[in-house]
Amino acid sequence: MAVSENTAEVVGLEERSVFVAGQKSSSGLRLQLSAAVLLVALLGIGCTGLLVWYCTRGPDVTTQLGRTEVPTNKVTAERTYSSSTMASVIIREKAAVHLEVEGFSKDDELMWRDSGGDAFAQGGLRLVNNAIVIPESGLYFLYSQAVFGVTCSYDAYVSQKILRYSDSFDAPRTLMFSSKSVCQDTNRQNGEVKVFEPIYLGGVFQLKEGDRLETTFYWTLDVQTDSGKTFFGAFAV
């Protein structure tokens, strides 16, 4: 009987041991599951916050061909575009010059000016030694007008031409020329009648950098120098 009682006590002790071990194993598993759930929750919150930051405050444009674009707002972009556009307009100012009569030289040559009144010069076209100088090769529209005041006591005619001087050739070339008779028989029969006749020249030409343009007149002293009557100019096309 003593053996049986001892055996029963041993068996009871083993059962209690198994029960306690089972309890400890179950508690550890629950702790591990709780930690895993907490870790997943924290990761979810972190990812959500990162996504919200990217959508609200992140860069508009990221890397392109390995280069990071600097984000900018709409107002800054519009101002930058406006500034660059104005700079481009200033840089690309059309080459143009319009000359008016300054007076006559000692040799009775007509002298020009590129400022004052309606005269101006811009975009590289300029007046040098009474000639228009071409700043760069290209197409240019040339024009010139002269109004002649002739007293018709004799048969007379007037003329105007535009000459091109260039390093490409030795002698100057005539680009445009025009002449006309200004005194008809009826004018001469009525005595010394003064007649005003305009001559206008205009055309497009292919010119080279450094070319020089000049005008000549016949008779020069008959050219009217009032504003709007006689002028000379060119502009790039």
State the Cα–Cα distance between residues 142 and 223, nearest whole angstrom. Answer: 19
The whole-angstrom separation of Cα 219 and Cα 180 is: 12
pTM of the model: 0.61
Looking at residue 117, its amino acid is G
**Closest residue by Cα to residue 234 from 210, 209, 203:** 203
Report the C-alpha gap between 171 and 164 in whole angstroms.
Answer: 9
Pairing of strands 131-133, 173-181: unpaired
Q: Which residues on neighbouring strands pair with residue 19, listed in sequence order?
A: none
What length does the chain have?
237
The one-letter amino acid code at 82 reads: S
- pLDDT at residue 181, rounded to an integer: 86
Give the pLDDT score at 53.
52
pLDDT tens digits, residue range 133-156?
999 999 999 999 999 998 887 778
Q: Is the distance from CB of 130 to CB of 139 less than 8 angstroms?
A: no
d(CA 230, CA 197): 11
Q: Which residues pair with 99 in a beta bridge?
A: 232
Beta bridge partners of 100: 113, 231
CB 214 within 8 A of CB 162: yes
The predicted-structure confidence for 175-201, as pLDDT tens digits, reads as follows: 999 999 888 765 556 566 788 999 999
Ranges of the chain whose pLDDT falls below 50: 1-5, 7-25, 51-52, 60-71, 77, 81, 86-89
Can you tell me the distance from the alpha carbon of 156 to that of 99, in angstroms, rounded to the nearest whole number?
27
Cis peptide before 219 (omega within 30 of 0): yes
Query: Which of the four CATH numbers 2.170.150.70, 2.60.120.40, 3.60.15.10, 3.10.129.10 does domain 94-236 have?
Result: 2.60.120.40
Domain extents in the chain:
1-58, 62-92, 94-236
Place of tokens 């009525």: 190
Token pair, residue 118, equals 């309606």
What is the enclosing helix (H) or strand (E) of 24?
helix 2-57
Q: How many CA atoms lie less than 13 Å away from 181 in the CB half-sphere?
A: 8
Query: What tens digit of pLDDT does each residue of 82-95 get?
Result: 555 544 445 568 99
How many of the other CB atoms lie within 10 Å of CB of 63? 9
